[in-house]
């Protein structure tokens, strides 16, 4: 009963998030109806990105993104402010029940998703405004229209962590596509500690590019289920996680022309997290809890065709991994999740490099080398 309730909540918030971002086709239609900016013959819009629009997007941007306004793109500005407004509405809808009940567990679940969705829309609008104020005329890349059949990755993770023993880990990852389905498994092992993490995720693509179905957009929508098993040898405990989530990427070329080359991605769902302690010999996993999952990404494509990649900023609300929650030295420490910057780029047909820098309760640097191919 409880699980069905949560799935419904996620679907509802997803529905609203989609409404907020709009539909690609409708946006194109609206753009034609409201030619606030002129178009050249080649279809490129005539705006003037630069320092002033950038400052307009950054300085008042958290509250009022003004980059497109300074650029003279009034239509784009209106859309961004509208998303900002919807984000604010979600934030308020989430915050009010929490404030009125001081986070009573009887009402907290839906407001948490509403808060996170609101934060995603609110901050995403500002990031989109910043992006447009810099790259409106010259996007750095295009999305990948046909996914790779498989990808193998080897990586090194460095954790600046004052609490747990494992600071250096080696990781190996395999990702394989089978039509609409994808399996991804990651194994990480600490050196020299006895700490091992195995994470797997199974995804079902409901909508978006597939190996044999090329699309004109980078947008996609996946349903995913995953599990992890993490053993912390030195600290003498083990975690088991079972998760269910939705993954939606929206290619912002469909939202407004100045945002070509950028995307937002939302991963949301629920996690059942279990912990077992070596000292408790009679119980394998004595502690368990349900936690919300929410990862909000704003990214841009780099390159196109063979030489391509992505650069993305993300916020991840999960508190069960090594990054967990962030402290800012304030009264509210621990509640918010972690932030990161992720990038990868394929320099050849098969070989690419990746980097993931993130900060939460630890600093994490992940360097990786990838091999991709066709079956």
Binding site for other proteins (CB under 8 A): 49-51, 54-55, 58, 100-109, 112, 130, 133-134, 138, 160-164, 232, 235-237, 239, 273, 275, 277-280, 283, 286-287, 289-292, 313, 319-322, 324-335, 338-339, 341, 357, 359-363
At CA 373, angle to CA 368 and CA 375, rounded to 5? 140
Could you tell me the smallest distance in angstroms from the CB atom of residue 27 to other proteins?
A: 25
- Burial call 82-97: b when 16+ CB within 10 Å, e when fewer: ebbebbebbbebbeeb
Could you tell me the smallest distance in angstroms from the CB atom of residue 66 to other proteins?
A: 15
Could you tell me the smallest distance in angstroms from the CB atom of residue 50 to other proteins?
A: 6
| Nearer Cβ to other proteins (141/292) | 292
Quick check: bond before 73 cis, omega within 30?
no
| Nearer Cβ to other proteins (44/236) | 236
Could you tell me the smallest distance in angstroms from the CB atom of residue 182 to other proteins?
A: 27
Look at the alpha carbons of 163, 165, 167, 170 in this order and tell me if their dihedral is positive or negative: negative
The residue assigned the tokens 């971002």 is: 21
Could you tell me the smallest distance in angstroms from the CB atom of residue 325 to other proteins?
A: 3
| Nearer Cβ to other proteins (34/327) | 327
Rounded distance between C-alpha atoms, residue 256 and residue 267, angstroms: 22
Q: Would you tell me the crossing angle of helices 51-58 and 109-135 to the nearest 10 degrees?
A: 170
Contact call for residues 252 and 20 (beta carbons, < 8 A):
no
| Nearer Cβ to other proteins (148/322) | 322
Rounded distance between C-alpha atoms, residue 186 and residue 18, angstroms: 31
| Nearer Cβ to other proteins (82/244) | 244
At CA 245, angle to CA 62 and CA 85, rounded to 5? 25
| Nearer Cβ to other proteins (49/254) | 49
Could you tell me the smallest distance in angstroms from the CB atom of residue 106 to other proteins?
A: 5
């Amino acid at each position: 009963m409880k699980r069905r309730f949560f799935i419904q909540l996620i679907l509802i918030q997803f529905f609203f998030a989609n409404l907020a971002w709009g539909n690609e086709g409708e946006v194109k239609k609206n753009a034609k109806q409201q030619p606030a900016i002129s178009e050249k013959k080649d279809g490129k819009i005539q705006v003037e990105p630069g320092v002033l629009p950038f400052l307009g997007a950054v300085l008042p941007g958290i509250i009022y993104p003004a980059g497109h306004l300074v650029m003279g793109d009034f239509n784009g500005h209106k859309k961004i402010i509208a998303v900002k407004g919807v984000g604010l509405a979600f934030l308020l809808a989430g915050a009010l029940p929490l404030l009125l009940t001081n986070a009573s567990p009887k009402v907290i679940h839906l407001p948490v998703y509403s808060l996170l969705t609101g934060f995603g829309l609110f901050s995403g609008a500002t990031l989109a405004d910043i992006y447009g104020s810099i790259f409106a005329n010259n996007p750095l890349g295009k999305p990948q229209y046909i996914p790779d059949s498989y990808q193998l990755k080897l990586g090194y993770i460095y954790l600046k962590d004052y609490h747990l023993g494992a600071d250096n880990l080696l990781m190996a990852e395999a990702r394989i596509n089978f039509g609409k389905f994808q399996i991804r498994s990651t194994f990480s092992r600490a050196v020299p500690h006895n700490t091992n993490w195995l994470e797997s995720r199974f995804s079902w693509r409901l909508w978006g590019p597939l190996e044999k179905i090329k699309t004109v957009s980078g947008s996609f929508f996946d349903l995913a289920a995953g599990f992890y098993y993490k053993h912390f040898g030195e600290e003498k405990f083990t975690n088991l996680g079972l998760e269910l989530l939705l993954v939606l990427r929206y290619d912002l070329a469909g939202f407004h022309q100045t945002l070509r080359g950028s995307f937002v991605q939302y991963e949301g769902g629920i996690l059942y997290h279990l912990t077992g302690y070596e000292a408790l010999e009679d119980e394998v996993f004595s502690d368990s809890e349900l936690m919300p999952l929410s990862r909000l990404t704003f990214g841009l494509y780099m390159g196109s065709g063979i030489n391509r990649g992505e650069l993305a900023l993300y916020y991840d609300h999960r508190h069960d991994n090594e990054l967990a929650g962030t402290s800012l030295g304030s009264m509210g420490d621990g509640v918010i999740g972690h932030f990161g910057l992720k990038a990868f780029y394929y320099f050849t047909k098969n070989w690419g490099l990746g980097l993931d820098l993130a900060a939460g309760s630890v600093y994490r640097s992940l360097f990786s080398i990838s091999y991709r191919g066709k079956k």
